[in-house]
Amino acid sequence: MIDPQIVKTADGSDTIYLPELDETYHSIFGAVQEANHIFIENGLKFIKKNSITVLEIGFGTGLNALLTAKYAIENDLKIEFITIEKFPLANELLVQLSYANHSNPDEMLFRKIHDAEWEKPTIINSYFSVQKIKGDILNPDFEINKEIDIIFFDAFAPSKQGEIWDEKVFKLLYQYLNMDGILVTYSSAGIVKRALRTSGFNVKRLIGPPGKHHILLASKL
């Protein structure tokens, strides 16, 4: 097995490439740019509450958590971030990413998120807390006892891990959401739209970030 590799994306931020899947964790057109466009600008900003609970499928590098923490601080919000990851990346790799560089103003926030103990809810600051769960959304051996306002669905692409994008998974996530909750994802593939709609969601296409035509916003009916 070839080790994961750090690669630079078009906006200057890093992502990680997995040779065995021939897949990157973020778009090569810009990791931060993509994550901010999808999960913050076209996801989190739609939640008009002062206290928000986020559920993320696919913790990956922790970039979405970092951007969410920054958003909470900048907007004086209280955000509880719950994230599920089957295969956590090694901290030795993560601390080499551009977000962890000493010249990056977000370095300490990024490191605190990654230093948080797995499975244990951890307060990062007065605005943001995180609970990292090592688990498999296909065979969950954990419980989500919170009412979720927004789901970040950031698993690997349907062409790489199609089983994660199945109707069974979306039906489970539908149950986790508040009645006015939403799910946002980067994939606009036809099989994803159909699985979401069959699971009860109202699905809308939104303009994607550079390098991607569309993303999906799914609302609980």
Q: Please name which of 198, 190, 153 lies closest in space to residue 171, comparing C-alpha atoms.
A: 198
In-domain check, residue 14: no
The yes-or-no verdict on residue 83 having pLDDT over 70 is yes
In-domain check, residue 49: yes
Over residues 51-72, the pLDDT tens digits come to: 999 999 999 999 999 999 999 9
In-domain check, residue 136: yes
Number of domains in the chain: 1
- pLDDT for 1: 66
- pLDDT for 2: 79
Over residues 127-156, the pLDDT tens digits come to: 999 999 999 999 998 989 999 999 999 999
Q: What percent of the chain has pLDDT over 70?
A: 100
Which residues does residue 132 pair with via DSSP β-bridges, in sequence order?
A: 83
Range of the domain at 179: 30-220
